[in-house]
Structure 1
């Protein structure tokens, strides 16, 4: 799930080095009569019963405790959080998009937590586990995840003589070649917006590259490395051969474009294809609903394409006056039973143990398989600035439109990233 990162944290005076939640002795115990939990509207609209169950569980252990909730839309949450963290009225629990965590952790805005206090922490998904860790310490708890999968139209594939979803990169490109030849130059065999950096960086990581690497406590951009260049060239070839839409677009309206019926395949979070098939967006006369087939995207490396795991984490602000109760509520909300509720809503769980149970369900097997190999953004103090500057998006657009070679675009992006990646926001 793509989350907009608002990097202006405003927490320079944040207390650093707070004791981990659940520390030994009674020093971490709180006498608070209430806790305040900030969640996004996703929880309010889609799984309010889970919120109530967590409230009921902690109140049963602490009779008289009141749990207050505030819900925010994603674009509004961080601006509000930045403002309140500068005061003494911080919430006790806050939901964060997983790429939003890094600058807050770097500034000491969140309290350290003890992973052993939370269910399934030993099996947290790698892509989410990385998002709650900074400098070897843990500052949050994974909440839920979503993975990217490939979806294509079996009717379009069949018309081109393709009867089954591909299992290898060679099969995939061969099938797309047939589809492209059958449908013509104005059709996108694979609709892949150039500014979708989540997809493009999957090619980089598939080739053994990375956006940046850590060395001696410092981060250095590595898009110029041979492996990263190899991945970018593989991505560029896809754009050139199969993407015949607007090469300056991002992925925000991909499902709407896909619903117009001028493309065969897309690589996107699992919710996008069903959304495209919604009658509001399906302009194919209803052909999408029964013709969408999901499959794990094979990578050029011969392995499944590593995916960016979007999702949410839960963190405890350092200024919370009830950190122990906040940790209890988070565990009640994200424990095994809670993850089961989230899975029933179409989400991926935060751990590999429960993820394995999804593999036997045809409705979720593809997403579960795709999530096994994942990557995450550099957990560097200045990563928020990199995202805000849209450095990767601009690099990719320059490559796709031919304004820069892969090598020059990567060099320019590395230079821009290196200027800010080690600087706290």
Structure 2
């Protein structure tokens, strides 16, 4: 939808805003919780999502109506929260013990509250049989210190959208599959066309794509004690890779100042040959740049020697202080069951996180005369066999990204050697622990 941060700006969430207001968003503070026993005698489950209205209002109203019909003693109150407000509102609600009963978050942010023991421990509530319904790598993304804090919901994964004309002009016979191939293609594309192969941002507050590339190149970011583990030959090679691309003029200078949105603009203008994004962006390109869309195709995500591919996860968590834990879990399991995941994945052009739903023919076989989006969906689904959340849930992950990006930028600008930059990044991170 990320990418845990790039989801925010891309993927599904741009589709839904994409990166996916709530009725009282013009007000302040957190709405009062009305969970628990209602005058009607029914138990109410308060359910917060992130920016899914108005595009999916009908879907969720029908989903909730079906759940309430099957569970006549339960009632669901749905509140949709803007992206920009969710972290503040849920932090306030958890602190005040007025949190909703089921919350839609990403694992990265949810893990920060998991450190404070804010969520229900699902290992005590979910049987191994139910757990096995979900993709194992995706379930793992919702664990911290060996405890499961969330149910996986919908997924997105990057693919490589590429301009077939530019690759042909440059004499590149097939889209690059690895970072090594990407570097070679970048040289050819720049030499033959004057264009760039791709754009990636080194703005610390933006996309984590570069940080994920380290993991794909075989770099361990932190050790078991949370200390820096990237000051290694593999880490230095990853630093050197990006420094060389920039110093050799194979990355736009705006990579140091512009975010991922700029990557989309460049691709839609025909100034880059490859866009790393979600499959749903092919629809956006078709609308904004139909000429580019006609020569666009999709390929698997570019990766390193590990073969790892990223996936961005949205999950459902249940606050530990909920008054209705069993009802909340029942609803969360209902939202994330095979049938409902498949239904939502089709409606939102995302991927499901259950094994059975992902095996549906919708994700396995492209129809005759398939559209570019339909072809890209199959590419995305196939990646799920090796996809995982590349940046593990950890405290102060944003600070880790900032330490690496800031020092990487210094090396790219010639202000530090690669050795000094990576040593400084490691020292800065360790000093915060």
TM range (shorter): 0.7 to 0.9
Is residue 296–residue 367 contact of structure 1 (8 Å, CA) maintained in 2? yes
Moved more, 120-129 or 76-85: 120-129
Give yes or no for the alignment of 1:401 onto 2:403.
no
1:193 to 178, 187, 201: 201
Aligned residues: 381
The 3 A distance-change label for structure 1 pair 126 and 418 is farther
Post-superposition, which runs of at least 4 consecutive aligned residues in structure 1 deviate over 6 A? Answer: none
1:332 Cα deviation (Å)? 0.8
Moved more, 402-411 or 85-94: 402-411
TM-score when scaled to structure 1?
A: 0.80
User: Which residue is equivalent to 1:122?
Assistant: 132
Q: Describe the superposition over 1:9-55 as per-residue Cα deviations: whole angstroms up to 9, x where unpaired.
A: xxxxxxxxxxxxxxxxxxxxxx862111011122x334334423442
Q: Root-mean-square deviation (CA), in Å?
A: 2.8
Give yes or no for the alignment of 1:365 onto 2:362.
no
Alignment of 1:84-233 (within 5 A): 84-114=93-123, 116-117=126-127, 121-122=131-132, 124-125=134-135, 128-167=138-177, 172-184=182-194, 187-195=195-203, 198-214=208-224, 218-233=225-240
In structure 2, C-alpha distance between the alignment counterparts of 1:78 and 1:118, rounded to whole Å: 31
Is residue 107–residue 393 contact of structure 2 (8 Å, CA) maintained in 1? no
Q: Describe the superposition over 1:294-313 as per-residue Cα deviations: whole angstroms up to 9, x where unpaired.
A: 11134342x53x23322311
In structure 1, C-alpha distance between the alignment counterparts of 2:228 and 2:215, rounded to whole Å: 14
The 3-state SS of whatever aligns with 2:284 is helix
In structure 1, C-alpha distance between the alignment counterparts of 2:164 and 2:129, rounded to whole Å: 41
The 3 A distance-change label for structure 1 pair 334 and 322 is same
Give yes or no for the alignment of 1:256 onto 2:273.
no
TM-score when scaled to structure 2?
A: 0.79
In structure 2, C-alpha distance between the alignment counterparts of 1:84 and 1:355, rounded to whole Å: 34
In structure 1, C-alpha distance between the alignment counterparts of 2:320 and 2:298, rounded to whole Å: 42
Give yes or no for the alignment of 1:383 onto 2:396.
yes
In structure 2, C-alpha distance between the alignment counterparts of 1:237 and 1:227, rounded to whole Å: 15
Moved more, 389-398 or 104-113: 389-398
User: Which residue is equivalent to 2:341?
Assistant: 339
User: Which residue is equivalent to 2:324?
Assistant: 322
Moved more, 70-79 or 197-206: 197-206
- For CA contacts below 8 A with separation 6 or more, give which structure has more relative contact order: 1
Is residue 141–residue 393 contact of structure 2 (8 Å, CA) maintained in 1? yes
In structure 2, C-alpha distance between the alignment counterparts of 1:51 and 1:119, rounded to whole Å: 27
Q: Describe the superposition over 1:136-184 as per-residue Cα deviations: whole angstroms up to 9, x where unpaired.
A: 1111111111111212101111222334434566654444332221112
Higher helix share: 2
1:408 Cα deviation (Å)? 2.1
In structure 2, C-alpha distance between the alignment counterparts of 1:363 and 1:72, rounded to whole Å: 29
- Structure 2 runs not aligned, ≥5 long: 7-40, 367-374
User: Which residue is equivalent to 2:427?
Assistant: 415
Give yes or no for the alignment of 1:351 onto 2:354.
yes
Give yes or no for the alignment of 1:266 onto 2:287.
no
Moved more, 190-199 or 323-332: 190-199
1:366 Cα deviation (Å)? 1.6
